[in-house]
Structure 1
Amino acid sequence: MAGGPMRFPWLRSHPARVTVLAFAAAALLGAALLALPWATPGGSATGLVTALFTAVSAVCVTGLVTVDTGTYWSAFGEGVILGLIQIGGFGIMTLASLLALLMSGRLRLRMQLTAQVETKTLGIGEVRRVLLGVAGTTLIVELTVAALLALRFRFGHGMPIGEAVHQAVFHAVSAFNNAGFGLRADSLTRYVHDPWVQLPIAAAVILGGLGFPVLLELLRHRTRSRGPRRWSLHTKLTLLTTVGLLLTGTVLTCLLEWRNGATLGPLDTGHKLLNGFFHSAMSRTAGFNALDIGQMEPATLLSTCALMFVGGGSAGTAGGIKVTTFAVLAAAIVAEVRGEPSSRALGRTLAPHVLRQALTVVLLGVGLVTAATLALLTLVKAPMEYVLFEAVSAFGTVGLSAGITPDLGTPGELIVIVLMFVGRLGPVTLVSALALRQRTRRYELPEERPIIG
């Protein structure tokens, strides 16, 4: 029996475990490559923690860094980071399934189940179509954004053609995958007056953050010539909540920073609105910044934390608890306030287990962020709002920072590594991956209601 298919039964019992292990393996491989002398211009080996931090940040599409990406790493190192971003955003299990599909023309059942965990599809028969759609969508969006940015960098900012293409491709891939990695220490602050740079990047971030199921459904209905076009509840919730959060973030940023001389204050009205919108979009797990985060008002940092914690859509490149989780909890609150027996959203009744899943994700996220913030406060000499901002940014795989990332120290970096890893995979996925087996309750205990409130 040694070497047979049952050699690792615990691994085969749940595809989520394979996803967790695959992401961990990708991060470790990336760290090993970044630790090589070829990864730095001077040929010196990078410290293990720095390499691991950068690799986890890349594969978890976060964007937090302890060293300047554009100057510390060589072309080989930047290539490794870009590859990890693409793998992390695309989903390593989705990528593996797609490669198997292209080579054999078919998908094995086990591979389909594993891909289903990553893409959040509802039926096994849909996986093949979803994988091809994911690949096509990723390629089209990244190439389009890269072309627009290359033209702007070349003719609007006078970059040599090689540098313009290099900058454009790196930022396009980083934007669509919501990674937030840039090639300059000041991120995109030099483009604070340039909508031709900010808007394509924001569009890529928003599209990637919607989630592949939403994008594919939108594409299906766009090409459908006959019959009614009815969106699923998931798509409706994702789109409505995304628009609402984008508008809310824009309004809050503009109101709170309008007269701040270090951020929006010196800009004219049009550029204030542009940068308010850009910051709101980037707070949805992208990580680029055109304004100095460290100079923002405490109220702005808190509102940004809320946006980062919610994140983007499910089964996409965004992190956070996801907008559908937020929408489900909002529907539950409305139902409870009205005294209704069940939660409803957009003409549909929400299943009870959906509410339990949403509560589990939120409470695990709050608990993890709180514990990490407490631990970081004992290690880092920085204001509490900066430390909380760093913890939420890591958990939400955002990558925005108030400037304390390089000062975390080794223990602090290890804490942030855990936050980024858990934030990318999702608390429920991680817990289910670690569970030895599923338990079925064969009886119910007597019901009783404790006093609430």
Structure 2
Amino acid sequence: MLSSSQKRRLTSVQIIVFFYVGLILISTVLLMLPFFHNPGASISIIDSLFTATSAISVTGLTVITIHEVFNEWGQLFLTLLFQVGGIGIMTLGTFFWLLLGQKIGLEQRIWIATDHNRSTLSGLVDLMRNILVIALMIEIVGTILLGTHFLIAGYYTDWYTAFYHGYFASVSAFTNAGFDLYGNSMMNFTHDYIFQAIVMILIICGAIGFPVLVELRSYLSYRRAKQRFTFTLFTKITTLTFFSLIVAGALLIYLFERTAFLQGQTWDQVLFYSLFHSVSSRSGGLATMDISLLSTPTLIMLSGMMFIGASPSSVGGGIRTTTFFVLIATVFANMRGFKDVKVFGRELVEDDIMRSFMVFFVAIILVFTAVMLLVWLEALPFQHVLFEVCSAFGTTGLSTGITSHIGPGGKIILIFMMVIGRIGIINLLLFLKRKEQIVRYHHPKERVIIGQ
């Protein structure tokens, strides 16, 4: 733990990052304990580090087969890590503070705001309480639905096994962790459309963003009371971009694969293959098919989708949907001759526009560097490496199957990308930022030629 003098020297961002890094290191050690392993199974320190990082960053990339290495206690411990990584360490911390009757002070509120990328400190405790309640309710409903379906469909004959697998699948889907207990993701359920529909809804609920879920809950309350409710600009932008990307992804998968993987498939198989993997590429990481069988254009397109990732203040990573929207809106506004960017009757703040371009630029550099290093270290196809790196950065977990064949150096690169994907580019920049400098003079300004 950090001493009080060290805390004063550290920013809230640095404290949150150290919390997550510390949790990863502790989990790495715990996952190596025989108590969590099947008889005769073991795991190396690098594989344990990779698994702990993947679980806490809710990515889902694995270098081991979960059910072969970990017993039920180990699997349950992984679901706990999914919760911490997905819902957020400060959300759970707030719950325990309240449970113990502790007062949430200013310092703790700043940590919460940092963990959930909030610009204000007001209403944070209520927000954390709402997030926790909503998350647990969704996971419980998901567990009941999946467990009941497993029983009715005949996957399992006893209720304990059915609901245990339902619980793991529900938590993994909602937190977008992308882990599975079968060793082949969700390929056992390729033609089970009820299961796929439930999982897709859980993935969407986790990836669309907690502020959107909280606002939706408020909207339903207002509607019951017959009162008017206005959604925030954040919710409007997030919802529009999120579902537009899902539709675009599904259409592009169909377009690229109609004469390849999807050729000869029935209409329902085409629909669910395209829709499920478009939804999963938001950050879910679950697959009902062998991703390595997809064509190169599809792999590159899905890499782009994973690079964009989920919404802010959600369980997912990437540059986030709002960043992508602001980039597109800014470019189109400039093309139409406007200096200001107006959407939904509101004008975007210049700082947010600048942040969006900064996040995009830094993310491109990080992904490019990681791909270049992995191609140099590993004799693997470029499109597969690009896919794996974007999957790690977007904390998605979809894989072409090369992760388990990557050496220690490559695993370290993917671990770094998963951590960055979890904490976010903005927090990375704030983590590295030096103290604000006071400018006492300015140099003469001069124009430079840009772009041509």
Name the TM-score class by shorter chain.
Answer: over 0.9
Equivalent AA in structure 2 for residue 47 of structure 1: S
2:250 paired residue number: 250
Q: How far off is 1:302 after superposition? A: 0.8
Task: Please give the secondary structure, in 1, of the residue aligned with 2:122.
Answer: helix
Q: Percent identity?
A: 32
Q: How far off is 1:197 after superposition? A: 0.7
1:321/1:159 CA distance change after superposition, 3 Å: same
Is 1:378 matched with 2:376?
Answer: yes
Write out per-residue CA displacement over residues 360-414 of structure 1, whole angstroms, 9 at most, x where no aligned residue: 1111111101000011001222111001101110011000001100111111111
Give 1:50-61 correspondences, 5 Å limit. 50-61=47-58
Residues 33 and 80 in structure 1, CA contact (< 8 A), matched pair in contact too: no
Equivalent AA in structure 1 for residue 427 of structure 2: T
Is 1:239 matched with 2:239?
Answer: yes
1:297 paired residue number: 295
Write out per-residue CA displacement over residues 221-269 of structure 1, whole angstroms, 9 at most, x where no aligned residue: 1111244321111000000001110100010111212232xx4334310
Task: Please give the secondary structure, in 1, of the residue aligned with 2:254.
Answer: helix
1:340/1:138 CA distance change after superposition, 3 Å: same
With structure 1 as the length reference, what TM-score do the two structures score? 0.95
Equivalent AA in structure 1 for residue 343 of structure 2: A
Cα distance in structure 2, aligned partners of 1:189 and 1:223: 39
1:248/1:439 CA distance change after superposition, 3 Å: same
1:441/1:166 CA distance change after superposition, 3 Å: farther
Is 1:128 matched with 2:128?
Answer: no
Write out per-residue CA displacement over residues 53-110 of structure 1, whole angstroms, 9 at most, x where no aligned residue: 0000000000000011121212222122111111100111221122112222631111
Task: Please give the secondary structure, in 1, of the residue aligned with 2:331.
Answer: helix
Cα distance in structure 1, aligned partners of 2:379 and 2:399: 15
Equivalent AA in structure 2 for residue 292 of structure 1: D
Task: Please give the secondary structure, in 1, of the residue aligned with 2:178.
Answer: coil
Cα distance in structure 2, aligned partners of 1:66 and 1:146: 26
Write out per-residue CA displacement over residues 198-222 of structure 1, whole angstroms, 9 at most, x where no aligned residue: 1111101111111111110111111
1:421 paired residue number: 419
2:347 paired residue number: 349
Residues 41 and 69 in structure 2, CA contact (< 8 A), matched pair in contact too: no
Equivalent AA in structure 1 for residue 331 of structure 2: I
Task: List alignment gaps of at least 5 residues for structure 1.
Answer: none
Question: Of residues 10, 21, 24 in structure 1, which corresponds to 2:21?
Answer: 24
Cα distance in structure 1, aligned partners of 2:145 and 2:442: 60
Equivalent AA in structure 2 for residue 377 of structure 1: V
1:322 paired residue number: 320
Task: Please give the secondary structure, in 2, of the residue aligned with 1:79.
Answer: helix
Cα distance in structure 2, aligned partners of 1:365 and 1:391: 11
Equivalent AA in structure 2 for residue 106 of structure 1: K
Is 1:450 matched with 2:448?
Answer: yes
Equivalent AA in structure 1 for residue 173 of structure 2: A
Q: How far off is 1:441 after superposition? A: 3.9
1:4/1:397 CA distance change after superposition, 3 Å: closer
Task: Please give the secondary structure, in 1, of the residue aligned with 2:60.
Answer: coil
Q: How far off is 1:274 after superposition? A: 1.6
Write out per-residue CA displacement over residues 135-190 of structure 1, whole angstroms, 9 at most, x where no aligned residue: 11111110111111111111113313222111110110011111101111111112
Q: How far off is 1:351 after superposition? A: 1.3
Give 1:53-452 correspondences, 5 Å limit. 53-104=50-101, 106-160=103-157, 161-224=159-222, 225-260=225-260, 263-441=261-439, 443-452=441-450
Residues 369 and 391 in structure 1, CA contact (< 8 A), matched pair in contact too: yes
Cα distance in structure 1, aligned partners of 2:110 and 2:175: 23
Write out per-residue CA displacement over residues 289-329 of structure 1, whole angstroms, 9 at most, x where no aligned residue: 01210000101101101110111110110111000000110
Residues 91 and 129 in structure 2, CA contact (< 8 A), matched pair in contact too: no
Cα distance in structure 1, aligned partners of 2:164 and 2:418: 27
Q: How far off is 1:122 after superposition? A: 4.1
1:143/1:340 CA distance change after superposition, 3 Å: same
Residues 186 and 288 in structure 2, CA contact (< 8 A), matched pair in contact too: yes
Q: How far off is 1:353 after superposition? A: 0.9
Task: Please give the secondary structure, in 1, of the residue aligned with 2:365.
Answer: helix
Residues 281 and 306 in structure 2, CA contact (< 8 A), matched pair in contact too: yes
Q: Give the root-mean-square deviation of aligned CA atoms.
A: 1.6
Write out per-residue CA displacement over residues 330-353 of structure 1, whole angstroms, 9 at most, x where no aligned residue: 111011101211122222111111
1:206/1:124 CA distance change after superposition, 3 Å: same
Q: Out of 170-179 and 341-350, give the one that drifted further.
A: 341-350
Q: How far off is 1:6 after superposition? A: 2.7
Residues 142 and 173 in structure 1, CA contact (< 8 A), matched pair in contact too: yes
Task: Please give the secondary structure, in 2, of the residue aligned with 1:283.
Answer: helix
Cα distance in structure 1, aligned partners of 2:434 and 2:199: 42
Is 1:6 matched with 2:14?
Answer: no
Equivalent AA in structure 1 for residue 245 of structure 2: L
2:36 paired residue number: 39
Equivalent AA in structure 2 for residue 323 of structure 1: T
Cα distance in structure 2, aligned partners of 1:55 and 1:390: 18
Residues 59 and 88 in structure 1, CA contact (< 8 A), matched pair in contact too: yes
Q: How far off is 1:44 after superposition? A: 4.8
Task: Please give the secondary structure, in 2, of the residue aligned with 1:124.
Answer: coil
Cα distance in structure 2, aligned partners of 1:42 and 1:338: 66
For this pair of structures, how many residues does the alignment match?
A: 447
